[in-house]
Amino acid sequence: MHQSNATLFSTLGTEPQVVTAFVDLITRQGISIDSLHILHTIGGDKRIDQATETLREEFANSSSIYKIHFHAIANLQGHPYPDIDSSESVEAFFRLLYLLIWQEKQANHIVHVCIAGGRKTMAVYGMSAAQLLFDERDRLWHLFSAGKFLESKRLHPQPGDDVRLVPIPVIPWSSLSPVLTNLSGIQDPYAALDQVAHLRLRERYDEARIFVLSLLTPAEQRVVRLLALEGLSDQEIAERLVVSPRTVEQQLRAAYAKAEEHWQVEKITRTQLIALLQYFFSTQIGENPHDKPMRSL
């Protein structure tokens, strides 16, 4: 079945067949290709330089009608990196891949990314870019090849060759929470990651606020507050609030049950409840557990 056109991205290492096999296998799925972007280093491993030249010649002599783009991973001054083996070169690769995918997503294009070539670090950051930018139409791939095809160094798989694309599951940030859908407007990957952290913290605060103010009784609020902020035992909480340990135990048991329903999980432990509520209570400056309970929503 024919599918919508797609933009392809592939990292390149020492084996040019990773790129050509990726293109061939995508085409066999009935996907029309708008353009192909190949990301590579220059001047380090001579095999990578040769792989780049092999691909330039291959695509120059092919009958493909889509555009081919070679992207050397470089610093801000335009000097290419010979390898992805430093924090600077990793950052340059991440920024480049992110920007290229971001531009395609701004145009509402479907993206397929193969991270089989090059350093493993490139694959890791490729997955990060996918999680930040992908929607449900996009795909991340690893290329598996073995046997005669791998040994032959042939650029194009033939019938019977043991080569296939393996999909890598990606859960885009935008699908995890509605508040993360505006990441598409951020052009810098590190700014996007900062925004994810900020929005997740804000969402975590809001969920905890609703739980505490809407579901807990005033007495439960006081007990849970001491637990979250100070990590006290039941006995210590009881002494602080001048109630019996059994009362504290009952109130915490009720809080656990309400938390499990609120966050839709099967079981919440003491440690997990602390983690869920600690940030919310830490922002309640000036409150005292003996004061009046917080106002309900």
Domain boundary among 146, 178, 210: 178
What's the whole-model pTM score? 0.73
- Does residue 111 sit in the same domain as residue 7? yes
Domain range for 236 is 188-282
Q: Are residues 124 and 147 in the same domain?
A: yes
Residue type, 106: Q
Mean pLDDT of 177-206: 76
In this structure, what CATH number is given to the domain that contains residue 253? 1.10.10.10
Tell me: the pLDDT tens digits for 212-253? 999 999 999 999 999 999 999 999 999 999 999 999 999 999
* Cβ within 8 Å of residue 132, ≥6 positions away: 98, 172, 173, 183, 189, 192, 193, 196
CATH number at residue 100: 3.40.50.10770
Q: Flag whether pLDDT at 209 surpasses 60.
A: yes
- Rounded to an integer, the average pLDDT of 118-140 is 94
3-state SS record for 110-129: EEEEECCCCCHHHHHHHHHH
For 252-297, the pLDDT digits (tens) are: 999 999 999 999 989 999 999 999 999 899 887 544 444 444 554 5
Please compute, for residue 51, the number of CA atoms within 13 A of its CA located in the half-sphere on the CB side.
28
Residue 138 within any structural domain of the chain: yes
Reported as type and span, the H/E element at residue 37 is strand 31-40
How far apart, in Å, are the Cα atoms of 129 and each of 111, 114, 255, 271?
Answer: 12, 12, 38, 32
pLDDT of 289 reads 42
Q: Looking at this protein, which amino acid is placed at residue 109?
A: H
